[in-house]
């Protein structure tokens, strides 16, 4: 601590303190009281030695308090200063992480609260910069940005510390993963604007625990100085924080057996991110009833390493599997009973969909390869229709009547899950997900152009989207097509494969119905005899027929995802849960807002399972690992805690004025109490 | 003081006097009386109670010769009888200004006790003497005996007021010296005071000690003296001694109050020690104790009354 004007204060002290003490001697105006004898009082006074002036001062609490008040005022007069870390530049961006890991309680009450405190302290310091320069304008202002899965500007560049503090306080916790990229992209235009505007350098403070997706990768942010303020315990964390201790469920899924769909297998992985061994019990519940309890014991997590050399040790991770028979729908919940510092990954849940197998309609004039291929894809029933018969059908009756809650055996209901058109383009667009070979639906988004006579007799497929769900494990480089034709697709469509004359496979979603179109006739190719053919049909029929349930037997979401709910009835839909969600139905589906908190969301009206109960989980190892990172790689230089800082002398005379007022209040209380003892 | 005057006629009520009739002043010593009374004396004398025989010597009263014994032994023996004499009861009342203090007032309280003791003494044909003192003995009523002087005694007491005057402070030593000179007749001396005397207590009691008198001291304290908080002694005060105008400036704090109480206790203990050293019976009472209780219960327990 230093002083700006110590001489003035010393002179004032030289005058005021003796004055106060002498006033104290003079000030007493005693009330006269007659007593029977002063004999005993004099003796008592002698004992107490109150008559001695310095003894009296020693015993006088009031004088002591008055001296304290005077001392505080004199201190204030000396203009004490504290050295604080502040921005040498004038403008500051405060980026606060409010992802799931920031809810860890290794710092009381949570890391997010600590981060907010740190941000407010920064804002106070900025304010002080302005004061020291003599004008509030000189502070240049600050901007507040919060980020988790996405980033949001909470307060644009402002000079008003009250607004900035308020913006910081309004940042609410989420259970999303954190991605720094969007935040940096968000503030980049501001940096450009400022660097065009002035020569000042912008300082970006990232207040986070460093558990950031892509934190290991370098992200660029030119023209700004980045500083990382780590929050939380761990090797790179704050002094005094508790050692991070978290046991998290990092993956969770359920599958139904391919042949016996009533058999359900639930898989989960549990990881210990603490520094000590952990024993816990995993509890699996079905609709609230405890089904299984399994004890686990996990080793401490290995020290964190850079992403370039990931740790190979897996002793801190346990994989568990639960098998049970359940044909219907149920809420499956898995939780552990270990008392750790992050609660959002302690329980995961998913809604198990009823077991079902597919009904597929093949509209063809005869195609054995296709029929065999579809049958091998695990369908319950394959129906055949000629194009003429198909045209006679009521398009509404073709649609399967929703999910069957009764289970696998009672697959009642008319209609089909998937329709496969073989070399026939229907005149009306069916309301069922469809696969087209050498044909196309009558929609604008996609058109099939047949091959010209002068096109090459045989073509190969040049490229295909290996990451597309329908083309997983599908290799098309040995497929030879004869007169494949080509597709003309709009921007809504996704091209899946491209031949020599253009796109030959594409997917388009219109009015909630998926259409997968291949421009070629499989009978004019060698594809049916290749291994990739049944694999493609299996992928396509399962994905089209079951949607998201093709891989998973249940529905569960992660925070940051968006849920699309199929609805038959019109009107609004509300889910109650950790955060209420509501949406107005559009075109047969309702799209819910992004999930921010984990938990179970229940629909307010009758909806077919599994969409009546939506489980939202964290399932992010990066977030469950709450050990604070000591370095954040952003731009070409790492934003470490050791980043160069400059100090600034901040005046703190206000504190002493407040202290003087507080002591004055105490003095008044003691005085009144003494007078009315 | 106003209260003292207003209630003077109520020093003793008829009902209370009736209760006092059953009591008598007791002496721990067998003291010589002046005239015949109701109390057994060391002397042999005229009562009907036989005491002893002794041989006849010339000059003895022939009426006391036991003629039956002469017939049997042919020797002259004289029959001796117990003598009964009166008892001198001296009540010494402190009327310094320090006594005119407190609620209930110490002087009024003392006057009531004195009236009760005097009444008891008179009803049993004891010789009752009343003295009042401040810096010296200021007034006295001597030689009262029998029921007749009861109104005189009460009037005497009622007329006693605290001595006014800036420099009239108690001087117990000179009072005791003077009392010893006046009160030559052995007897019971009852000293009623607050003993707030700035002189030496031991020096004062020296004059009354010894076998001649049976001395009782009753120290009276007002509740406000025992606990100054009851007397609104709080804050920064200038305390003025009611007797000698002495000033003590105090800032009353809980610590000072504790110290005062400790001092008071030590002082009372000192007075008691000095009394016991001289064979003087010592009693202490606060004036909020009903004086009837003091007379009928505590004084009997301490043996002054019986």
Question: Which residues in chain A are closer than 8 Å to B265, comparing Cβ atoms?
Answer: none
Question: Which residues in chain A are closer than 8 Å to B242, comparing Cβ atoms?
Answer: 34-37
CA atoms of B94 and B171, how far apart (whole Å): 10
Mean pLDDT for B11-17 is: 86
Mean pLDDT for B141-156 is: 90
The pLDDT assigned to A138 comes to 44
Q: According to CATH, where is 3.40.50.410 located in chain B? A: 2-32+86-301
Least confident of A43-47, A415-419, B99-103, B152-156: A43-47
Residue with tokens 């001092």: B263
Any long-range contacts for B261-265 (C-beta under 8 Å, 24+ apart)? B261/B226, B261/B227, B263/A40, B263/A43, B263/A44, B263/A47, B264/A40, B264/B225, B264/B226
CA atoms of A570 and A572, how far apart (whole Å): 7
Residues near A548 by Cβ (< 8 Å), separated by ≥ 6?
A555
Interchain proximity B242–A37, CB inside 8 Å: yes
Q: According to CATH, where is 3.40.50.880 located in chain A? A: 358-550
β-strand A358-363 against A418-422: which pairing, if any?
A: parallel
Any long-range contacts for A585-591 (C-beta under 8 Å, 24+ apart)? A587/A511, A587/A512, A588/A511, A588/A512, A589/A512, A589/A564, A589/A565, A590/A564, A590/A565, A591/A562, A591/A563, A591/A564, A591/A565
User: Percent of chain A, pLDDT > 70?
Assistant: 79
* Cα three-residue angle A138-A143-A146, rounded to 5 degrees: 160
Instruction: With H, G, I as helix, E, B as strand and everything else as coil, classify residue A394.
Output: coil
Dmax (CA) of chain A: 138
> For B280-305, b where at least 16 C-beta lie within 10 A, e where not — what string?
bbbbebbbeeebeebbbebbeeeebb
Question: Which residues in chain A are closer than 8 Å to B101, comparing Cβ atoms?
Answer: 34-36
Residues near A545 by Cβ (< 8 Å), separated by ≥ 6?
A358, A360, A379, A417, A418, A433
Nearest CB to B248; choose among A41, A47, A674:
A41
Residue with tokens 């899950």: A417
The pLDDT assigned to A333 comes to 93
* Cα three-residue angle B24-B27-B29, rounded to 5 degrees: 155
Instruction: State in Å, rounded, how far the first CA of chain B is from the last one.
Output: 33
Mean pLDDT for B152-177 is: 83
Most confident of A303-307, A308-312, B269-273, B297-301: B269-273
The confidence band for A254, taking pLDDT boundaries of 50, 70 and 90, is confident
When the candidates are 3.40.50.10860, 3.40.50.410, 3.30.360.10, 3.20.20.70, the CATH number that belongs to A83-242+628-644 is 3.40.50.410
Mean pLDDT for A301-310 is: 62
CA nearest to A41 within chain B: B260
* Cα three-residue angle B40-B41-B47, rounded to 5 degrees: 60
Mean pLDDT for A224-236 is: 75
> Taking 50 as the threshold, does the pLDDT of residue A7 lie above it?
yes
The pLDDT assigned to A146 comes to 92
CA atoms of B304 and B288, how far apart (whole Å): 21
Interchain proximity B250–A45, CB inside 8 Å: yes
**Which of A36, A52, A55, A677 has the most B C-beta neighbours within 10 Å, making it the best mutation to test the interface with B?**
A36
**Which of A27, A29, A39 has the most B C-beta neighbours within 10 Å, making it the best mutation to test the interface with B?**
A39
> Taking 50 as the threshold, does the pLDDT of residue A137 lie above it?
no
> Taking 50 as the threshold, does the pLDDT of residue A103 lie above it?
yes
Q: Determine the angle formed by the axes of helices B106-123 and B150-158, rounding to 10 degrees.
A: 170
Task: Judge residue A268's burial from the number of C-beta atoms within 10 Å of its C-beta, 0-12 exposed, 13-18 middle, 19 or more buried.
Answer: buried
Is residue A251 left, alpha or beta, with left meaning phi > 0 and alpha meaning psi from -120 to 50? Answer: beta
Instruction: With H, G, I as helix, E, B as strand and everything else as coil, classify residue A255.
Output: strand
In this prediction, the answer to ipTM > 0.95 reads no
In order, the DSSP letters of A98-109 are: -SGGGG--SSSS
When the candidates are 3.40.50.620, 2.60.40.10, 3.40.30.10, 1.10.1740.10, the CATH number that belongs to A247-355+619-624 is 2.60.40.10
Q: In the structure encoding, which two tokens stand for residue A529, read together?
A: 């005899």
pLDDT in tens, A54-96: 555 556 777 888 889 889 998 888 888 776 655 544 678 888 9
Please give the C-alpha separations between residue A588 and each of A144, A403, A483, A510, B142, in angstroms, as whole numbers: 39, 15, 38, 12, 127
pLDDT in tens, A445-454: 899 988 887 7
Interchain proximity A31–B231, CB inside 8 Å: no
Q: According to CATH, where is 2.60.40.10 located in chain A? A: 247-355+619-624
Mean pLDDT for A534-551 is: 78
Query: Strand locations in chain B, DSSP E?
Result: 36-55, 77-85, 88-94, 127-133, 137-144, 187-193, 213-221, 235-241, 247-252, 281-286
The yes/no answer on whether domain B2-32+86-301 falls in CATH 3.90.650.10 is no
Most confident of A174-183, A605-614, B3-12, B213-222: B213-222
The confidence band for A526, taking pLDDT boundaries of 50, 70 and 90, is very high
Least confident of A143-147, A217-221, B279-283: A217-221
The confidence band for B110, taking pLDDT boundaries of 50, 70 and 90, is very high
What average pLDDT does chain A have?
80
Mean pLDDT for A449-468 is: 85
Least confident of A276-280, A344-348, B80-84, B223-227: B80-84
Mean pLDDT for A167-181 is: 89
Q: In the structure encoding, which two tokens stand for residue B47, read together?
A: 């009562």
Strand partners, A603: A575
Mean pLDDT for A40-52 is: 69
Question: Which residue numbers of A have CB closer than 8 Å to B's CBs?
Answer: 28-45, 47-48, 50-51, 56, 59, 674-675, 677
Mean pLDDT for A91-112 is: 88
The pLDDT assigned to B106 comes to 92
Nearest CB to B237; choose among A31, A37, A44:
A31
B225 and A CB contact within 8 Å: yes
CA nearest to A36 within chain B: B98
The pLDDT assigned to A518 comes to 93
CA nearest to B249 within chain A: A30
Mean pLDDT for A669-675 is: 73
- Cis-peptide, bond into residue A109, ω within 30° of zero: yes
> Taking 80 as the threshold, does the pLDDT of residue B153 lie above it?
yes
**Structural contact between residues A245 and A343, judged by C-beta atoms closer than 8 angstroms:** no
Mean pLDDT for A35-56 is: 70
**Structural contact between residues A477 and A498, judged by C-beta atoms closer than 8 angstroms:** no
> Taking 80 as the threshold, does the pLDDT of residue A589 lie above it?
no
Interchain proximity A40–B267, CB inside 8 Å: yes
The confidence band for A132, taking pLDDT boundaries of 50, 70 and 90, is very low
- Cis-peptide, bond into residue A458, ω within 30° of zero: no
Instruction: With H, G, I as helix, E, B as strand and everything else as coil, classify residue A322.
Output: strand
**Structural contact between residues B189 and B216, judged by C-beta atoms closer than 8 angstroms:** yes
The yes/no answer on whether domain A358-550 falls in CATH 3.40.50.880 is yes
Q: Is the dihedral of CA A57, A61, A63, A68 positive or negative?
A: positive
Of the two residues A247 and B252, the one the predictor is more confident about is: A247
The confidence band for A201, taking pLDDT boundaries of 50, 70 and 90, is low
> Taking 70 as the threshold, does the pLDDT of residue A325 lie above it?
yes
Q: How distant is the Cα of B156 from the closest Cα of chain A, in angstroms?
A: 25
**3-class SS string, A107-173:** CCCCHHHHHHHHHHHHHHHHHHHHHHCCCHHHHCCEEEEEECCCEEEEEEEECCHHHHHHHHHCCCC
Least confident of A64-78, A136-150, A486-500: A136-150
CA atoms of B212 and A163, how far apart (whole Å): 99
Interchain proximity B264–A56, CB inside 8 Å: no
The confidence band for A548, taking pLDDT boundaries of 50, 70 and 90, is low
Mean pLDDT for A436-445 is: 90
DSSP run (H or E) holding B301: helix B299-301
Instruction: With H, G, I as helix, E, B as strand and everything else as coil, classify residue B33.
Output: coil
Task: Judge residue B31's burial from the number of C-beta atoms within 10 Å of its C-beta, 0-12 exposed, 13-18 middle, 19 or more buried.
Answer: buried
**Structural contact between residues B222 and B101, judged by C-beta atoms closer than 8 angstroms:** yes
Mean pLDDT for A310-320 is: 77
The pLDDT assigned to A140 comes to 66
> Taking 70 as the threshold, does the pLDDT of residue B183 lie above it?
yes
Least confident of A390-399, A607-616, B214-223: A390-399
CA atoms of A108 and B188, how far apart (whole Å): 83
**Structural contact between residues A255 and A265, judged by C-beta atoms closer than 8 angstroms:** yes
Mean pLDDT for A322-344 is: 89
CA atoms of A492 and A494, how far apart (whole Å): 7
Nearest CB to A30; choose among B229, B238, B259:
B238
Least confident of A61-65, A132-136, A249-253, A391-395: A132-136
Question: Which residues in chain A are closer than 8 Å to B95, comparing Cβ atoms?
Answer: none
Residue with tokens 């500007």: A153
Nearest CB to A39; choose among B106, B196, B247:
B196
> Taking 60 as the threshold, does the pLDDT of residue A629 lie above it?
yes
Least confident of A361-365, A382-386, A633-637, B219-223: A633-637
CA nearest to B220, candidates B91, B89, B99: B99
The confidence band for A311, taking pLDDT boundaries of 50, 70 and 90, is low
Mean pLDDT for B96-110 is: 89
**Which of A25, A41, A674, A677 has the most B C-beta neighbours within 10 Å, making it the best mutation to test the interface with B?**
A41
Mean pLDDT for A359-378 is: 87
For A515-572, where are the alpha helices, taking DSSP H only? 532-546
The pLDDT assigned to A650 comes to 67
Please give the torsion angle defined by the CA atoms of residues A603, A607, A611 and A616, in that order, rounded to the nearest 10 degrees: 0
**Structural contact between residues A252 and A268, judged by C-beta atoms closer than 8 angstroms:** yes
Mean pLDDT for B129-157 is: 90
CB contacts < 8 A, A to B, total 100
């Amino acid at each position: 601590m230093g002083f700006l004007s110590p001489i003035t204060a010393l002179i004032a002290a030289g005058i005021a303190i003796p004055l106060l003490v002498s006033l104290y001697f003079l000030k007493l105006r005693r009330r006269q009281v007659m007593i029977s004898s002063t004999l005993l009082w004099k003796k008592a006074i002698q004992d107490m030695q109150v008559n001695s002036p310095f003894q009296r001062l020693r015993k006088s609490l009031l004088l002591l308090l008055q001296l304290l008040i005077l001392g505080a005022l004199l201190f204030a007069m000396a203009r004490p200063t504290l050295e604080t870390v502040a921005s040498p530049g004038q403008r500051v961006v405060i980026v606060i992480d409010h992802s799931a890991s920031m809810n860890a309680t290794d710092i009381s009450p949570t890391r997010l609260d600590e981060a907010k405190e740190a941000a407010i302290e920064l804002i106070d310091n900025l304010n002080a910069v302005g004061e020291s320069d003599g004008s509030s304008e000189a502070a240049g202002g600050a901007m507040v940005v919060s980020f988790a899965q996405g980033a949001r500007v909470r307060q644009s560049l402002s000079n008003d510390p009250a607004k900035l503090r308020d913006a910081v306080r309004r940042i609410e916790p989420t259970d999303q993963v954190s991605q720094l990229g969007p935040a940096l992209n968000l503030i980049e235009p501001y940096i450009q604007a400022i660097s065009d505007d002035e020569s000042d350098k912008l300082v970006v403070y990232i207040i986070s625990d460093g558990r950031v997706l892509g934190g290991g990768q370098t992200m660029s942010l030119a023209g700004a100085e980045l500083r990382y303020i780590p929050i939380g315990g761990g090797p790179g964390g704050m002094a005094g924080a508790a050692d991070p201790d978290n046991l998290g469920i990092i993956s969770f899924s359920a599958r139904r057996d391919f042949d016996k769909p009533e058999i359900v297998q639930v898989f989960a992985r549990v990881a210990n991110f603490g520094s000590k061994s952990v024993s816990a019990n995993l509890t699996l519940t079905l609709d609230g009833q405890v089904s299984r309890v399994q004890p686990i014991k996990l080793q401490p997590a290995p020290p964190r390493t850079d992403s370039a050399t990931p740790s190979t040790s897996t002793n801190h991770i346990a994989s568990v599997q639960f098998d049970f028979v359940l044909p219907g729908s149920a809420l499956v919940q898995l939780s552990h009973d270990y008392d750790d510092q992050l609660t959002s990954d302690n329980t995961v849940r998913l809604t198990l969909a009823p077991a079902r197998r597919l009904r597929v309609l093949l509209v063809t004039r005869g195609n054995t390869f296709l029929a065999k291929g579809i049958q091998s894809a695990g369908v319950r029933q394959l129906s055949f229709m000629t194009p003429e018969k198909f045209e006679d059908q009521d398009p509404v009756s073709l649609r399967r009547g929703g999910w069957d809650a009764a289970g696998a055996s009672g697959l009642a209901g008319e209609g089909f899950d998937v329709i496969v058109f073989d070399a026939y383009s229907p005149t009306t667009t069916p309301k069922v997900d469809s696969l087209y070979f050498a044909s196309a639906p009558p929609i604008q988004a996609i058109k099939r152009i047949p091959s010209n006579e002068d096109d090459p007799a045989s073509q190969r497929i040049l490229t295909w989207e290996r990451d597309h769900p329908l083309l997983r494990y599908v290799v098309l480089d040995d497929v030879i097509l004869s007169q494949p034709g080509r597709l003309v697709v709009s921007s809504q469509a996704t091209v899946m494969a491209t031949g020599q004359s253009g796109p030959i496979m594409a997917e388009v979603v219109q009015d909630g119905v998926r259409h997968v179109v291949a421009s070629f006739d499989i009978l004019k190719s060698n594809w049916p005899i290749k291994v990739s053919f049944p694999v493609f049909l299996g992928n396509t029929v399962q994905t089209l027929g079951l949607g998201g349930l093709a891989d998973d037997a249940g529905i569960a979401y992660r925070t940051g995802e968006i849920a699309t709910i199929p609805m038959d009835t019109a009107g609004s839909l509300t889910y109650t849960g950790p955060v209420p969600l509501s949406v107005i139905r559009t075109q047969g589906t309702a799209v819910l807002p992004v999930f921010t908190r984990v938990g179970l969301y229940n629909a307010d009206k009758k909806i077919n399972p599994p969409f009546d109960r939506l489980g939202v989980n964290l399932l992010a190892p990066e977030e469950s690992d709450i050990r604070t990172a000591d370095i954040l790689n952003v731009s070409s230089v790492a934003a470490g805690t050791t980043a160069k800082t400059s100090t600034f002398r901040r005046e703190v005379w206000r504190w002493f004025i407040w202290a003087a007022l507080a002591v004055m209040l105490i003095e008044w209380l003691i005085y009144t109490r003494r007078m009315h003892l | 003081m106003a209260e003292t005057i207003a209630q003077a006629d109520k020093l003793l009520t008829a009902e209370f006097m009736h209760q006092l009739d059953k009591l008598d002043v007791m002496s721990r010593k067998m003291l010589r009386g002046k005239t015949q009374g109701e109390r057994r004396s060391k002397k042999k004398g005229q009562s009907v109670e036989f005491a002893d025989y002794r041989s006849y010597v010339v000059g003895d009263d022939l009426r006391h010769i036991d003629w039956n014994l002469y017939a049997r032994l042919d020797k002259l023996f004289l029959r001796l009888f117990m003598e009964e004499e009166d008892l001198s009861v001296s009540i010494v009342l402190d009327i310094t200004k320090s006594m005119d203090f407190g609620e209930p007032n110490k002087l009024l309280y003392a006057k009531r006790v004195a009236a009760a003791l005097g009444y008891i003494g008179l009803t049993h044909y004891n010789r009752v003497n009343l003295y009042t003192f401040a810096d010296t003995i200021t007034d006295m009523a001597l030689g009262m005996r029998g029921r007749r002087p009861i109104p005189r005694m009460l009037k005497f007491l009622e007329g006693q007021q605290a001595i006014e005057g800036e420099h009239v402070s108690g001087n117990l030593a000179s009072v005791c010296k003077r009392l010893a000179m006046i009160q030559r007749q052995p007897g019971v001396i009852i000293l009623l005071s607050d003993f707030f005397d700035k002189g030496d207590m031991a020096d004062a009691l020296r004059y009354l000690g010894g076998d001649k008198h049976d001395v009782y001291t009753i120290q009276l304290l007002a509740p406000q003296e025992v606990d100054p908080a009851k007397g609104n002694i709080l804050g920064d005060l200038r305390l003025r001694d009611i007797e000698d105008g002495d000033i003590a400036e105090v800032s009353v704090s809980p610590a000072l109050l504790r110290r005062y109480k400790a001092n008071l206790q030590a002082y009372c203990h000192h007075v008691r020690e000095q009394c016991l050293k001289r064979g003087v019976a010592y009693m202490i009472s606060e004036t909020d104790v009903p004086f009837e209780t003091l007379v009928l219960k505590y004084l009997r327990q301490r043996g002054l009354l019986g």
